[in-house]
A = this chain, B = another copy of it.
Amino acid sequence: MRELGLDIPDYTDPPYGGRYGQVLPYRRIGNLLLLSGLTPEDRAGNRVHPGRFGDDLTVAQGYEAARRTAINALGLIRLAVGSLDRVVAIGRNLCYLRTTDDFEDLHLVSAGVSELFIDVFGPERGKAARASIGVAALSRHNCFELCTDLEVAG
C-alpha cells in the first residue's frame, strides 16, 4: 500500500452526505462493496475542473479530476472497512464524464482513476474492469463521476 503523499479525505468529519441528502457512502453485500457516486470535490465542496470535455476542458485536466475522484474513493473505502489493507481487489470502475456529443477520448480521462488505483494497490489488486460513458450533466457541473464496485475482506 502506497498512501504517501495522497491527501485522502476523512469522511467522518464532517460526516459524509451533508451536501447531497439522505444517502449512504457505500453498502456492503457480503464481500462486495458498492460505493456511491463520487465527484472531484474536496470536503469543502471545492471542485477540480468543473466543465465539459469537448468544450472547455482538456484531457489533462480530466485526468487530474479523475485521479482526484479516485483519491476520494480511497476515503470512502477506508470509511467502509477501516483500512485500505482490506481491499482484495478493485472490481469495476464505472466512469461518467460530462462531455459534448463528439468527444472521443474518454479512456484517456478515466485512466486517471485506473492508474491511481494501480499506484496505490499495485496491479494485482488495483487493476480493474472499467467503462467510460459521456453524459449530459453531473451534479454541480462536475466533469467526472465514479461508481466503483470492489471486493473487500475482514
Residue numbers of A with Cβ under 8 A of B are 19-27, 29-32, 34-37, 52-54, 89-92, 94, 96-97, 99-108, 111, 114-115, 118, 123, 127-141, 145, 147, 149-151
Contacts and interface: CB of A to CB of B under 8 A. Distances in A.
Contacts of A96: 131, 133
Given A106-B139, A107-B21, A132 B37 contact: yes
Which applies to chain A's interface (DSSP): helix, strand, loop or mixed? mixed
Contact of A133 (B19, B115, B135): B135
Contacts of A141: 102, 104
Name, among A90, A106, A133, the residue most crowded by chain B CB atoms within 10 Å (CB to CB).
A133
A113 B28 CA distance: 19
B132 A35 contact: no
21 contacts: A21-B111, A21-B114, A24-B128, A29-B32, A29-B89, A30-B30, A32-B32, A34-B92, A36-B130, A37-B130, A37-B131, A100-B136, A101-B137, A102-B137, A103-B136, A104-B139, A104-B141, A105-B139, A106-B138, A106-B139, A132-B139
B136 A135 contact: yes
